[in-house]
Structure 1
Amino acid sequence: MIRLTEIKLPLNHAPEDLTSAITTKLKISAEQIATFVMFKRGYDARNKRNIQLIYTLDITLSDNTLTDKLLSQFESDQHVKVTPDTSYKYVGEAPADLTERPIVIGFGPCGLLAGLTLAQMGFKPIIIERGNEVRQRTKDTFGFWRQRKLNTESNVQFGEGGAGTFSDGKLYSQVKDPNHYGRKVMTEFVRAGAPDEILFVSKPHIGTYKLVSMVEKMRAEIIELGGEIRFGTRVDDIHITDNQITGVTLNNGEKLDSNHVVLAVGHSARDTFQMIYDKGIYVEAKPFSIGFRIEHKQSTIDQARFGDNAGNEILGAADYKLVHHCKNGRSVYSFCMCPGGTVVAATSEENRVVTNGMSQYSRNERNANSAIVVGIDPARDYPNHPLAGIDLQRELESLAFELGGRDYNAPAQTIGDFLKGKPDSQLGDVKPSFTPGITLTDLSKALPDFAVEAIREAIPAFNKKIQGFGSDDGLLTGVETRTSSPISIKRNKEFQSINTKGLFPAGEGAGYAGGILSAGIDGIKVAEAVAKSILKLD
């Protein structure tokens, strides 16, 4: 097949225009095209009056000799190449007499893909998840949002599917992926019930409710292939002999033996981080970010980004990605933007308030929200201790709990009053989506002065890029502290801890991913590394 990239057509083009674009580019007739498929579709909305759709197409010609001729003819054209093979190829297969079973700690996107890939290769992994299965976890989470009853082991952060289950379900990433692991992640999701469109739209997403049923189907496949999943079970100890991992002890006292353990806990497994640090496993502090959730009417963002094309079905609800470099040397950026979504309570510890964003597949809620956060550098902002970032997170989350009224309300303030530095008196047109609820207060007390100063400078700058972003009626809700893991568990080229053989740090919690797709990709890579180690492959 021949792959054509950067095929640009008007937003409302006719279906036959794709065929015309192919024939024009390759200088062939329509009859010479056997078939073509859309590999990717994105858009360029920089000119709101002339939004362009951008396609990547894979074309099969009726004559193979013509394919070779055209590839030779367009050899110097970077937009005409042979279609790459994106099919997944397993690195090995477990022998029938294998007695050791690898252990996967954590069943978020990384642990899910690691466990699934290991199961598909015949290794029958044992997966340990401290939270509940996804249906019960959903009940636990909604119980907190609606009744303020927090289950510290089953919530937005902990449970089957990981933190990504209660999110926008974004499935795009900027990680380099020459081996097409991302395609396997997407293919597995589609097999489990995700919409086919995630395979070709440029910014695919799924949404919470679709993720729930998908995770269940993937779990069923792991079990059918001989894997085992233990919910409501926490790893309380890791056993190490002569720098080699030998097994784990669970919170019920049971000991599981294995020389291959995947550590795929999320970025909020603070007690696990403390445990591995105490065991002498090498850990470093890493940068993360802190800030607020910002809400606008989705119609405001749609109009600013798409103009008269707002509401177009192909474009959907508009998103944005913003960054501003401040005078005080800080950078402020948008993170985890949720079009047509809600701000959600995301704490996993009592007497602390944390925000995050979530949306459904339809993205049809009234507000748009995203995190507006400031970068934190361990060398600059807190003591040089591997776990000091966790202390800073907890300090800010506890302060937010106090400012919110000590009942899990989140502290909030309109953008106008925050920028003017005056106490908030009433809401504007943007109604808060956060549950359990908000308490209007002075958000300048919620973050360090440098962060408040930076965000106050950044919002007017963002307003120049998106008209209405700095509107007085917009709403800020605090605090956002779980943008990424505050630690990195260093690993070598074999994906094993640099000082603990057989321990495979993986995903967001270990500092190797940021989002569902990149976490899933890392899970596949680590599963391959485990298989190679067990099979003694190079």
Structure 2
Amino acid sequence: MIRAGGIRVSLDTDLSDLAGICEKKLRISRDRIISVKLAKKSVDARKKSDVHFLISLDIEAKGEEKLLKTLKNATKTEKTDYRVTKLKKLPYRPVVVGFGPAGMFASLVLAMAGAKPIVLERGGDVDSRVKAVEEFQSGGKLDTECNVQFGEGGAGTFSDGKLTTGIKDRRIGWILEKLVEFGAPDEILYLAKPHIGTDKLRGAVKSLRERVISLGGEVRFNAKFCGIETKNGSLSAVRYTQNGQEHRLETQSLILATGHSARDVFELLYNEDITLSQKNFSVGVRAEHLRKDIDKAMYGDFAGHPALKAADYKLAVHLPNGRTLYTFCMCPGGHVVAASSEDGRLAVNGMSYFSRDAENSNSALLVNINTDDYGSDHPLAGMYFQRELEEKAFIAGGSDYHAPAAVLGDFMEGRVSEKLGRVKPTYRPDVRFAAPEEYLPDYVCESLRLGIKEMGKKIKGFDDNDTLLTGIESRSSSPVRINRGDDLQSVSLKGLYPCGEGAGYAGGIVSAAVDGMKCAEAVIEALSR
């Protein structure tokens, strides 16, 4: 099979007739084609007067070697293949803590190998999570154990479901194929910037869980990890609480995939003398624009074309103060959501449904925070720094989980906003006007003012005075790393496998899933000995 890339087609092209495209664009006659499928599709909007698609096709044809020589941008390609070693014996059952992307795919791989993993998830299943989140966003009480951060599917379940990643790994194709098998849309297999959307991701998460259980695994919800036991420098047992009672599981392998918001786990590990280290992270606000304005800025007169979905963007500017301002987790046609997980602390995130058709588009505007900014060499100093900022944001919003918000024109002039412009907030329960200086360091506010102005030069209207800034965006990544060696085990404890975003080894759904698979493979190897 060959992959032919860089094929330019108009927005009006019928992509159901791929053989016709091969014939017209690549001069391959239909009688030579055995099969053809869409491998990649992206929007080329570099020239607003000429927006079109660039596609790649996987072609099985007669005389492929000759085609490889004659076609431009053509390479040989192989089908994704991922195999798991089947275990012949099971000396003990491994435990996975956390059922976000890393924990889900670690559990799936373990279950496929016959390891019968036991999964402990502090939050509820995805359906009970949806109810808890809706109650909180409607003005109800925050459930600190089941919320946007904690529960089946992890934080990604209440996001845009983005599947873009900066890593290259043979496991990625398999992950995408499994997600489609579990109910994600087929288009994630070929879109250059695939996303599932929080609505479709929920169904895929449940199907993955059911597969793990069907293969002999267990998933225990509302089961909060609370301790480890060791013997001769190795893990010997895991403790957890469920329904008010403490339980104990004997095991020699624990994949710890608790996510970046399980701060009590960091404190637990620190008290157990597990080696941790500081890590850089970022902080800022969510910027909301009208979706139609962003679509117009990105697509010009092609905005609104039925073949185009809501426009996305990715920006970064390096500033004279030595900081960088960049966009993160851009949600076209989405919402700003309440992402708090601790009493008296406020955090926001962004999410989109699969349709991406809401009135606003939003993204995080983040400023890099370095370990020097923490003011301490304590391994948890970054986490404490995060908490302090979130407490300030909670107070700035009125101490009732309303989010502090500012209209950009006022923020740029140093005024506290008194009324909204064209952009209405999507955050629930609601927002209250407050200056970002009330909860963000001065250097972050300075970077926002400098950087947004520069971003306005790259995307017309990005610095529009009516842009709404809602804070605080503080959970983009973990400020702590759980140190591990080349064998993926903690440098402090044999049998402990720190995994995913929370451990500091991933940054998004796909990279976390890849890391979960790697940790599962390491556990399978240990079980095979």
CA distance in 1, matches of 2:383, 2:294: 34
Aligned-residue offset at 1:381: 4.1
Q: 1:18 to 1:221 in 2, by over 3 A?
A: closer
SS in 2 for 1:509: helix
Counterpart check, 1:332 vs 2:315: no
- One-letter identity of the residue aligned with 1:224: S
Find 1:391's aligned residue among 372, 379, 384: 384
Of 519-528 and 105-114, deviating more is 519-528
Aligned-residue offset at 1:306: 0.4
- Check whether the contact 1:148–1:407 (CA below 8 A) recurs between aligned residues: no
Corresponding residue for residue 68 of structure 1? 65
- Check whether the contact 2:374–2:382 (CA below 8 A) recurs between aligned residues: no
CA distance in 2, matches of 1:150, 1:159: 14
- Check whether the contact 1:508–1:514 (CA below 8 A) recurs between aligned residues: yes
- Check whether the contact 2:93–2:115 (CA below 8 A) recurs between aligned residues: yes
Structure 1, unaligned runs of 5 or more: none
Aligned-residue offset at 1:116: 0.9
CA distance in 1, matches of 2:16, 2:39: 17
CA distance in 2, matches of 1:118, 1:85: 23
Find 1:197's aligned residue among 187, 191, 194: 187
Corresponding residue for residue 154 of structure 2? 162
CA distance in 1, matches of 2:96, 2:395: 37
Of 504-513 and 251-260, deviating more is 251-260
- One-letter identity of the residue aligned with 1:340: G
Q: 1:503 to 1:313 in 2, by over 3 A?
A: farther
CA distance in 2, matches of 1:457, 1:395: 24
- One-letter identity of the residue aligned with 2:80: T
Corresponding residue for residue 95 of structure 2? 103
CA distance in 2, matches of 1:334, 1:192: 30
Q: Deviations over 1:70-118 (max 9, x none)?
A: 34x35xx77222112312222x1111x4130010000001101110111
Find 2:142's aligned residue among 150, 170, 179: 150
Of 376-385 and 38-47, deviating more is 376-385
- State the TM-score, normalizing by the size of structure 2: 0.96
Aligned-residue offset at 1:370: 0.7
- Check whether the contact 2:374–2:381 (CA below 8 A) recurs between aligned residues: no
Aligned-residue offset at 1:15: 4.5
Q: 1:421 to 1:137 in 2, by over 3 A?
A: same
SS in 1 for 2:304: coil
SS in 1 for 2:59: strand
SS in 1 for 2:138: helix
Counterpart check, 1:80 vs 2:74: yes
Corresponding residue for residue 519 of structure 1? 512
- Check whether the contact 2:394–2:402 (CA below 8 A) recurs between aligned residues: yes
CA distance in 1, matches of 2:29, 2:136: 61
CA distance in 1, matches of 2:205, 2:17: 38
Find 1:351's aligned residue among 338, 344, 357: 344
Corresponding residue for residue 123 of structure 1? 115
- Check whether the contact 2:90–2:527 (CA below 8 A) recurs between aligned residues: no
- Check whether the contact 1:167–1:357 (CA below 8 A) recurs between aligned residues: yes
SS in 1 for 2:213: helix
Aligned-residue offset at 1:333: 0.4
- Check whether the contact 2:332–2:362 (CA below 8 A) recurs between aligned residues: yes
Q: 1:15 to 1:451 in 2, by over 3 A?
A: closer
CA distance in 2, matches of 1:296, 1:16: 34
Aligned-residue offset at 1:9: 2.1
Aligned-residue offset at 1:482: 0.4
SS in 2 for 1:147: coil
Corresponding residue for residue 42 of structure 1? 42
SS in 2 for 1:397: helix
Aligned-residue offset at 1:314: 3.1
Aligned-residue offset at 1:315: 2.4
- Check whether the contact 1:148–1:408 (CA below 8 A) recurs between aligned residues: no
Corresponding residue for residue 495 of structure 2? 502
CA distance in 2, matches of 1:304, 1:27: 36
Aligned-residue offset at 1:460: 0.9
Q: 1:15 to 1:372 in 2, by over 3 A?
A: closer
SS in 2 for 1:48: coil
Of 308-317 and 471-480, deviating more is 308-317
Corresponding residue for residue 112 of structure 1? 104
CA distance in 1, matches of 2:374, 2:227: 31
- Check whether the contact 2:344–2:391 (CA below 8 A) recurs between aligned residues: yes
Aligned-residue offset at 1:210: 1.2
CA distance in 2, matches of 1:58, 1:330: 43
CA distance in 2, matches of 1:405, 1:131: 27
CA distance in 2, matches of 1:419, 1:313: 36
Corresponding residue for residue 254 of structure 1? 247
Aligned 1:463-502 pairs, distance under 5 A = 463-502=456-495
- Check whether the contact 1:282–1:498 (CA below 8 A) recurs between aligned residues: yes
Aligned-residue offset at 1:21: 5.4
Aligned-residue offset at 1:511: 0.8
Number of aligned pairs? 526
- Check whether the contact 1:382–1:389 (CA below 8 A) recurs between aligned residues: no
- One-letter identity of the residue aligned with 1:395: E
- Check whether the contact 1:109–1:520 (CA below 8 A) recurs between aligned residues: yes
Find 2:198's aligned residue among 208, 225, 231: 208
Identity of aligned residues (%): 46
Of 295-304 and 498-507, deviating more is 498-507
CA distance in 2, matches of 1:326, 1:266: 31
Aligned-residue offset at 1:49: 1.3
Structure 2, unaligned runs of 5 or more: none
Corresponding residue for residue 235 of structure 2? 245
Find 2:449's aligned residue among 445, 456, 464: 456
CA distance in 2, matches of 1:243, 1:340: 51
Corresponding residue for residue 56 of structure 2? 56
Corresponding residue for residue 223 of structure 1? 213
Aligned-residue offset at 1:20: 5.8
Q: 1:57 to 1:241 in 2, by over 3 A?
A: same
CA distance in 1, matches of 2:254, 2:192: 35
CA distance in 1, matches of 2:441, 2:159: 27
Of 289-298 and 212-221, deviating more is 212-221
Q: 1:391 to 1:52 in 2, by over 3 A?
A: same
Find 1:297's aligned residue among 290, 293, 299: 290
Aligned-residue offset at 1:243: 2.4
- State the TM-score, normalizing by the size of structure 1: 0.95
CA distance in 1, matches of 2:330, 2:27: 42
Corresponding residue for residue 447 of structure 1? 440
- Check whether the contact 1:150–1:350 (CA below 8 A) recurs between aligned residues: yes
CA distance in 2, matches of 1:4, 1:37: 11
Aligned-residue offset at 1:268: 0.2
